[in-house]
Structure 1
Amino acid sequence: MTRTDPATHHTGPRYTHGHGDSVLRAHSWRTAENSVGYLLPHLRRDQSLLDVGAGPGTITADLAERVGAVTVLETSEATLELARTTFAERNLDAEFVVGDVERLALADDSFDVVHAHQVLQHLADPVEALVQMARVCRPDGLIAVREVDYHGWTWWPQLPGLDLWQEVLQTVHRANGGEPDAGRRLLAWAHSAGLRDLTVSASLWLFTDEDRRWWGQTWADRIRTTSIGRQALDDGVASESDIETIAQAWLTWADDPDGLLLMPHVELLARP
């Protein structure tokens, strides 16, 4: 594996995963039920909700069916169009806003619920993002955040190529100004942001059988064709051989009837 100092290549945070087809396939699998179960009991029809970093909008659309009004926030019109398409397909209404969660151009006390799923890990200043989310949340409202912890991923069988994948992902993600092990830091970030009435929980995604085959193929495609693999090559973090070793490891894991993967998430409910 070839190494350089990737921090010298980039001056600010950028989205590690990109929006390639394999990434969108994975992100579109997400639903309120498999990704936001900790929040669902607290939702009501009379609430307004801001969803920060909605991506393809599958979670957001599920939330829109449970509350009175939804505002969708993304960093560009092109990315926002992904969520617009999902909402149109499901005949749902929302307000669509381009913005930066670390510098929200939204009024104080605007929403009953402010939600972000796997967003803080990609930010240069996740604490400031939480401060801004609290600012636009009503005093009796609710902030809901869920973050993965990549070093907490556990898989069987043990494959050197997957260890290499972890190393490459960690390096690229941090070069982009983010924190791939956001889950373990979420409570500390909330304390630093001054949030109150904190409730912390955790949940797992488990991949076995058919889910395993789909997940492994998705990651093989992602390392070969999307921004993680391309950036690793551009930055000298990995060679073409490394990328193919990682892809083959994911496919080997996917085809193994004993293959299993646990993906941990930390969840936070808080008041502003």
Structure 2
Amino acid sequence: MTDATPHRDVYTHGHSSVVVSSHGMRTAAGSAAYLIPFLRPGLDLLDVGCGPGSITVDLARLVAPGRVRGVEITEAPLGQARALAAQRGIPVEFAVDDAYRLTTPDDSVDVAHAHQVLQHLSDPVAALREMRRITRPGGVVAVRDADYAAFSWWPADERLDAWLNLYRTVAHGNDAEPDAGRRLLAWAHEAGFTEVTPSASVWCYATPDERAAWGGMWERRIYSTIGQMAIERGLASRADLDAISAGWREWAAHPDGWLVIPHGEVVARA
């Protein structure tokens, strides 16, 4: 049974070009390694919150000839997803759908996957129950989310501290949980799963190219949806955003710059 309560979630990141392009750099190896041992050819898979589809297409290659569908709450990133699948010659269906009321029938996929999705939902447990509904008995529901409060970097910088505090404040204002990673196991249990495999992994940005990619992205991204929300809610000024942007630029250029982003992960048996 799907959740009948209406949800009006706000996506803290938005779908600006800088956000979608950064999400398009993700791969199954870098973002879903915990799930790969559970995959095999012929499994049907649904990717909830697929974004520009880079992880989805990688997963589709691993489960081919199984059917794969990627869904998003908006059409915005799906054109890029379809183009990527066509470029790689991998058949994937992409469509708009609602994580709380998926159009997928009961017991119709072997794997339901969501990467960096639950942290943006006002009711992540309801979404997990919905993913469980569509998964065949014996199949798996796999989710991975960052844990913002556990981010760590060097050198210390008050401007980056301000960025993290601002991000978490805006996300909480959206009735979302940016520190989702540590909560995934509890949410899976609350959703009714009894056989759950928990794990954790990190993204680390420390080489010059890695720092340039992450720092350069946030140097611009702070002015996108997250910054606009902060200004509209009286949480920051344009000068504050400028300082955060400069902080990321200088961190990226620092030869000792180091950043680690912890993630929680669970694979729950349906």
Please give the range of the TM-score, normalised by the shorter of the 2 chains. over 0.9
Work out the CA distance in 1 between the residues paired with 2:253 and 2:78: 35
1:50 — aligned with what?
A: 46
CA contact under 8 A between 1:12 and 1:177: conserved in structure 2?
no
Structure 2 Cα separation of the partners of residues 95 and 216 of structure 1: 33
> What stretches of structure 1 of length at least 5 have no aligned partner?
1-10
Query: Is the contact between residue 119 and residue 176 of structure 2 (CA under 8 Å) also seen in structure 1?
Result: yes
Give the 5 Å matches for 1:226-241: 226-241=224-239
Match of 1:100 in 2: 98
Task: Kindly provide the amino acid, as one letter, of the partner of residue 51 in structure 1.
Answer: D
Correspondence for 1:246: 244
Tell me if structure 2 keeps the 8 A contact 1:53–1:116: yes
User: Given the alignment, which residue of 88, 91, 102 partners 1:90?
Assistant: 88
Aligned-residue offset at 1:220 = 0.8
Q: Distance in 2 between matches of 1:102 and 1:12?
A: 11
Which TM-score applies when normalising by structure 1? 0.93
Give runs of aligned pairs for residues 46-195 of structure 1, distance below 5 A.
46-67=42-63, 68-195=66-193
Specify the alignment match of 2:219 in structure 1: 220
User: Which residue identity does 1:27 align to in structure 2?
Assistant: H
Contact 1:219 1:247 in 2 (8 A): yes
Regions of 4+ moved over 4 Å? none
The percentage of aligned residue pairs carrying the same residue is 50
* Mapped partners of 2:30, 2:89: distance in 1: 22
Counterpart secondary structure, 1:206: strand
Question: Against the structure 1 CA distance between its residues 66 and 198, is the aligned structure 2 distance closer, same or farther, given a 3 Å change threshold?
Answer: same
Map of 1:256 onto structure 2: 254
SS in structure 2 opposite 1:220? helix
Report the RMSD for the aligned CA atoms in angstroms.
Answer: 1.2
CA contact (8 A) 1:73 1:98 kept: yes
Q: Using the TM superposition, give the Cα deviation of residue 82 of structure 1 relative to its aligned residue in structure 2, in angstroms.
A: 2.8
1:166-224 C-alpha deviation (Å, 9 max, x unpaired): 11101111122211000011111111000121100000100012201221010110002
2:18 partner letter: S
Q: Describe the SS at the equivalent of 1:102.
A: coil
Q: Which has the higher contact order (CA 8 A, sep 6+)?
A: 1
